[in-house]
Each structure stands twice: as C-alpha cells, then as structure tokens.
C-alpha cells in the first residue's frame, strides 16, 4: 500500500477534495470537471491523495450500509439470543452485495418461486387479452393480437410490447420471445434482463433497447441507451447505444445493420407509461431524452421521461397535487406532501431554440397526454422546477443552461378527475416553457 498523504499536505488538496465531493452533483459543470482532471493530471501527490480519499469513501459507504442493514436485521430478529453480531454482519453483507448478484445469475427460477408473481401488467393501450394489474407467474405464456401493453417485472425491468406478439415469461428477469416487437428498459441497478429468441439471446447490461423478432425467428436489436450483450453465438458480442444488429441464424454472429429506430417508438413511449399523446406534443426520442436542456423543437411540446422510482419524503414541496385547472402565478401555490411518495418524473418542455420564435410573436400549442397511472403532483413554477432538478432530472440533463423556466400567464394545465389525463394549452412567447409531472410509480 502506498504511503498515506501526510496530514499537513491535505490542506493543499482542499480544492481537489471539494471537486471530488461535488462530482456526483448534477450541477457539476464541464469547467469543474476540467479543473478536477487538470489537478490530477499534473500531480502524482494529488492522484495519491484522491485515490486514498475515494478508497476510504468506498469503505465508509460499505460500513455505513452494512450497519444500516444490520439494524434492519436486528429489528426483524425475534429472539436476540439466536443472532450474533457476526451472523448479522455476514447476512447484511450478503444481502447488500451478493443476493442481487446470485439472483441475477440464476436465470432459471427455483421451484419455490414458480408460484410467485414475477410480472404485472402496468398499462395497456387498446390491447386484447391483457388487463391492467394482471399478474403472471414464471412459465406463463402471453399472446396479444391487438394493441400495446407494458409489463413490469419483479426485477424492475419494463417490457413494452406491441401486437401481434407471443412470449413466455421465464422468471422475474426474462422472457422467451417467440415473435413481436417491443422495448425493454431496466431503470434500476439490477441488470441481466434476458430475452431468448429463436436465433439470439439478448442480455441487458443496464440499458434501453428495442427488439423485433420476425415469425421466421430473425431477431433485430437496436440499443437506445447503455449496452446489451448478445450471447447467441459462441463469441459473445457487446452492442452499445446507437448500434443495431440482426441475427438471422442461431449460433451465428449478429450482423451490424443501420440504426433505424422509428419502428420502436410506440413501445418506447409505452415503456414509460405514456398511454397516448395527441395535439402538439411528442415524447422525446432515445438520445434526446438524456439532455432536455439541449433538445430543441419549434413545432412541438416535448415530453422527457426523467428519473423513475424516486421517493419524495413527507413534506416535499410541489405546486399542486390537485385535479382541475392550474394557471399561473404559481409562486404562492405551494403544497407539501402529506406522506412520502414514490414517483416517476416527466419534464414537459417547449424550447424552440434561439431561432425558433422571434421576440414578440406568439403561437398557441394544445395537447392531451394520458398516463397509465395517476398523476400525483405537478411542479409548475420556475423556482420549484429548479429546486426539484437535483432529485428528479436525469443526470446530465443540462437544465442549468435554460433561463426563465415555468409557464406563462396565459398558459393552462388541467388534470382530469381520474388523474390520468392532462390537457395542456401553452401560449408560446419568446422563452422556454417547462412543467414537471409526477406519476405514482407504484400504482
């Protein structure tokens, strides 16, 4: 082990330490990043200091996480005599680190798991043969002849599918996909969602991708975000965001094909729980979604699905949790959550870019947006939008480059009584308009 940096020297690295601490902050800028790299590039002492700090932080994270897990085990232990500190410690570490891993590697569910629910229908759109909330156990087959649906797996993976399609659910993290077209997204930390088709085995490595299986078995994959591994041939192939492949024969390497994703956009929308959009609105395409601050479209409002399964604490401040009509000003329209809520967040934005609308001119955009789960909160004012970015915006969203957020005096947002439909009317002037919509993640 290299020598620890002497305590006196640590004062010299205050800026470095501060930058390292800030580096996980969504507001960490390119300039900060440049400065951090410059400090490290120029000095071996700085690198040694940073390395020790980061290493200790990891030990600290593990110790504190293990402690929290131990406390939770303690609460659940009925007889203190039956548990020892050492046992709790191992149990905590195994729970934190290895159970998810073991579960991920075990793609064939054990017999005792066969009886449990491994997937649930989160949403449907004009589909036949599936109902919202319907549950599935491992081994069940799904055939759909019409419409679209999204299944939420126990692993956290979401599989949106468009008819005609047929597949068998193999467990809490995979399907055997006979034919059809769909989008897979795995928003959480668990990876390894596996689709086995007649010609390919596609394994998620933290990603979003489109997949189409023809009735002949030919499998096309288009990776939108992250990466996937193709395991159908003896040499596994990794493919990355922006790449597409086609596998026509089993055990043969997949071939690269042009990255054309239009065929997957319907299931891409469905995978985010967007049941329908109409009027002057579209859902951000893969790629656009990750940087709403940079996305420009003078012809449409854009809906950016943001973070999913975010728990907002009791007391969290929003502009509204109510149904009905919402109009500015919002500065004094403040509500606090009465209990903690887990939400999926969506940013609705109009940004025509610098040349989109000339100052003083005005256009009116109207749209209807329906979700498959209830809207539980709205963030409508510029100050609350900014305050909520840290928790709800995608990392790297670049929203700090946008001034004058929120909506204008003449704009209206109306939430239907069933909480699933938003009617939006935006009178677009010369600035960017934004609102944030929060949907119940657990409904």
- Judged by CB under 8 A, the chain residues 362 through 421 that form the site for other proteins are 387, 390-391
Cα gap 274→400, rounded to integer Å: 26
Q: Is 232 in the site for other proteins (CB under 8 A)?
A: yes
Q: Is 106 in the site for other proteins (CB under 8 A)?
A: yes
73: CB partners within 8 A, 6+ apart: 83, 88, 91, 92
Minimum distance from residue 302 beta carbon to other proteins (Å): 22
Among 9, 64, 257, 287, binds other proteins (CB under 8 A): 64
Q: Where are the beta strands (DSSP E) in 9-157?
A: 117-125, 135-137, 141-144, 148-153
Among 40, 233, 277, 294, binds other proteins (CB under 8 A): 40
x-marked contacts with other proteins along 315-354 as a string, rule CB under 8 A: ----------------------------------------
Among 8, 31, 105, 409, binds other proteins (CB under 8 A): 105
Which span sits near other proteins by CB under 8 A: 72-80, 89-97, 293-301, 339-347? 89-97
Q: Specify whether the backbone of 79 is left (phi greater than 0), alpha (psi in -120 to 50) or beta.
A: beta
Residues 132-191 that bind other proteins (CB under 8 A): 170, 189, 191
Among 10, 35, 137, 416, binds other proteins (CB under 8 A): 10
Cα gap 59→48, rounded to integer Å: 17
Minimum distance from residue 388 beta carbon to other proteins (Å): 10
Whether the bond into 158 is cis, omega within 30 of 0: no
Please, which residue, 57 or 362, has the CB nearer to other proteins?
A: 57
Q: Is 15 in the site for other proteins (CB under 8 A)?
A: no
DSSP of 279-324, one letter per residue?
Answer: ESEEEPPTTGGG-TTT--EEEEEEEEE---SEEEPTT-EESB---E
Q: How many residues bind other proteins (CB under 8 A)?
A: 72
Q: Is 102 in the site for other proteins (CB under 8 A)?
A: yes
Find residue 26's DSSP bridge partners: none
24: CB partners within 8 A, 6+ apart: none
Q: Is 288 in the site for other proteins (CB under 8 A)?
A: no
Please, which residue, 22 or 410, has the CB nearer to other proteins?
A: 22
Q: Is 120 in the site for other proteins (CB under 8 A)?
A: no
Cα gap 371→150, rounded to integer Å: 12
């Amino acid at each position: 082990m290299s020598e620890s940096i002497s305590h006196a020297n640590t004062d010299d690295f205050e800026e470095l330490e501060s930058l390292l601490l800030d580096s996980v902050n969504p507001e960490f800028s390119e300039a900060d990043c440049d400065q951090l790299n410059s400090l490290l590039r120029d000095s071996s002492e700085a690198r040694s200091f940073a390395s020790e700090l980061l290493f200790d932080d990891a030990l600290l994270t593990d110790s504190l996480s293990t402690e929290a897990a131990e406390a939770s085990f303690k609460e659940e232990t009925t007889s203190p005599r039956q548990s020892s500190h050492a046992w709790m410690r191992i149990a905590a570490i195994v729970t934190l680190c290895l159970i998810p891993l073991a579960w991920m590697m075990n793609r064939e569910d054990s017999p005792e798991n066969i009886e449990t629910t491994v997937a649930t229908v989160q949403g449907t759109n004009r589909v036949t043969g599936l109902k919202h909330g319907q549950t599935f156990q491992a081994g069940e087959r799904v055939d759909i002849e019409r419409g679209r649906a999204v299944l939420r797996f126990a692993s956290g993976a979401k599989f949106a599918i468009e008819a005609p399609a047929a597949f068998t659910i193999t467990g809490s993290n995979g399907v055997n996909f006979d034919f059809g077209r769909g989008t897979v997204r795995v928003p959480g930390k668990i990876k390894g969602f596996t689709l086995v088709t007649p010609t390919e085995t596609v394994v998620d490595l933290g990603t979003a991708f489109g997949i189409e299986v023809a009735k002949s078995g030919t499998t096309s994959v288009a990776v939108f975000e992250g990466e996937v591994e193709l395991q159908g041939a003896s040499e596994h192939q990794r493919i990355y965001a922006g790449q597409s492949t086609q596998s026509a024969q089993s055990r043969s390497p997949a071939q690269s094909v042009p990255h054309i994703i239009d065929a997957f956009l319907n299931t891409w929308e469905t995978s985010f729980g967007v049941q329908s959009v109409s009027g002057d609105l579209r859902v951000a395409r893969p790629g656009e979604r990750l940087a709403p601050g940079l996305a420009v479209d003078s012809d449409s409002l854009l809906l950016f699905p943001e973070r999913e399964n975010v728990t907002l604490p009791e007391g969290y401040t929003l502009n509204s949790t109510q149904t009905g009509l919402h109009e500015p000003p919002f500065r004094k329209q403040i509500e606090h959550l009465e209990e903690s809520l887990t939400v999926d967040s969506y940013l609705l934005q109009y940004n025509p870019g610098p040349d989109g609308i000339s100052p003083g001119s005005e256009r009116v955009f109207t749209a209807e947006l329906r979700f498959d789960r209830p809207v539980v909160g709205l963030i409508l004012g510029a100050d609350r939008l900014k305050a909520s970015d840290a928790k709800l915006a995608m990392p790297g969203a670049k929203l700090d480059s946008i001034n004058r957020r929120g909506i204008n005096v003449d704009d209206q947002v109306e939430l239907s009584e069933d909480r699933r439909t938003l009617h939006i009317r935006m009178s677009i002037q010369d600035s960017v308009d934004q609102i944030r919509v929060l949907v119940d993640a657990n409904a």
